[in-house]
Amino acid sequence: MAIQWFPGHMHLTQKAITERFKDGIDVVIELLDARLPGSSANPLLAKLAQGRPALKVLNKQDLADPLQTEAWLAHYNALPQTHALALDASVTAPAQRLIAACRALAPTRGGMAKPMRVLICGIPNVGKSTLINTMVGKRAAKTGDEPGITKLEQRIALAPDFYLYDTPGMLWPKITVPESGENLAASGAVGRNAMDEDVVAAALLGYVRQHYPGQIEARYKLDPSKLDLSALNAAEWLVVIGKKRGAMLAGGRVNLQKAAEMVLHEFRAGTLGRITLETPEEYSRWVVAAEAVEAAAQEKKRARKEKRHSSRQPATETSPE
């Protein structure tokens, strides 16, 4: 399933971020979803940042698998000019941790003559506005359950010589890794009109069943002695869960839409348990596979273009002897 979502305001955000970099940014804070740290990292932002020091903040750590969070922190901390830390947006004093980490990444900046200029970015619905409100101790940014709440850039002073530039949540024009599209949709980063909830929920259930065995059975009180759960595919699990929770239509049919919305809501709220949808190794394999598919598609496109071009060339006339 190809999931794409890049509405008009994200295009404007891309342009605004480009202009902000021209004005001078010392450190880029990228807020990632700790449940999908690779899929929620914006490749477009990496290009725009052009090698500037980066602070990767794995937000919503309280919802993620703690062992996988440690693995992802090690992965990002091994990258050059990069530091990573984990937070959840409800912690009481995140500002000092972020300020200290940024100062360590740009030690030559600071003081009123050279104030620190930091850009904070993230995918939609990653909790950036909530984190900012926690840092400044007041409602500085709008928050909500729908992606795309923040629409305008704003500057926030976290210290007399430390300016934080907040930007709207942004994805990228083309999501080439299919698994990333599914994970972003499961997390709530994608608008509802860009996905089929039942397909996304089925993919989510398939991953959780494989990596966190018994967790779904425990949450929905499914008895393996009464039903051979191992023989069910992910879509069939959605039917079973819908029946268990009473998501029914007339005629005894399961309301798959309602069942899917329920599963996705419980994953996003953390009631399914502490789950991470990708390991660093898995994500690397997905990227390699996606790059191969993209390269093959580009080669086919190039071959078709050459064929069209050659067909337009006039035939060479042969001179009579």
Going from the N-terminus, what domains does the chain have, and what CATH number goes with each? 8-166 (3.40.50.300), 178-269 (1.10.1580.10)
* Nearest-angstrom CA–CA distance, 81 and 296: 33
Dihedral (CA of 83, 85, 91, 93) sign: negative
Mean pLDDT, the chain, as a whole number?
Answer: 88
* Nearest-angstrom CA–CA distance, 88 and 166: 18
Q: Is the pLDDT of residue 287 over 90?
A: yes
Tokens 């989510």 correspond to: 204
Specify whether the CB–CB gap between 54 and 81 falls below 8 A.
Answer: yes
Task: Please tell me the pTM assigned to this model.
Answer: 0.87
CA-only gyration radius of the chain, Å? 23
Return all residues near 149 (Cβ < 8 A) that are at least 6 apart: 124, 129, 142, 143, 169
- The pLDDT-based confidence of 54 (bands split at 50, 70, 90) is very high
DSSP at 137: T
Torsion of CA 285, 286, 290, 293, to 10 degrees: 70
Specify whether the CB–CB gap between 189 and 33 falls below 8 A.
Answer: yes
Give the pLDDT confidence of 105-133 residue by residue, as tens digits. Answer: 999 998 989 999 999 999 998 988 888 88
Give the pLDDT confidence of 66-115 residue by residue, as tens digits. Answer: 999 999 999 999 999 999 999 986 676 788 889 999 999 999 998 989 99
* Nearest-angstrom CA–CA distance, 299 and 123: 31
Is residue 204 within a helix (H) or strand (E), and if so which, with residue range?
helix 197-211
Q: Is the pLDDT of residue 1 over 70?
A: no
Question: Which has more pLDDT, 33 or 51?
Answer: 33
- The pLDDT-based confidence of 234 (bands split at 50, 70, 90) is confident
Residue 150 pLDDT: 46
Residue range 181-204: mean pLDDT, rounded: 93
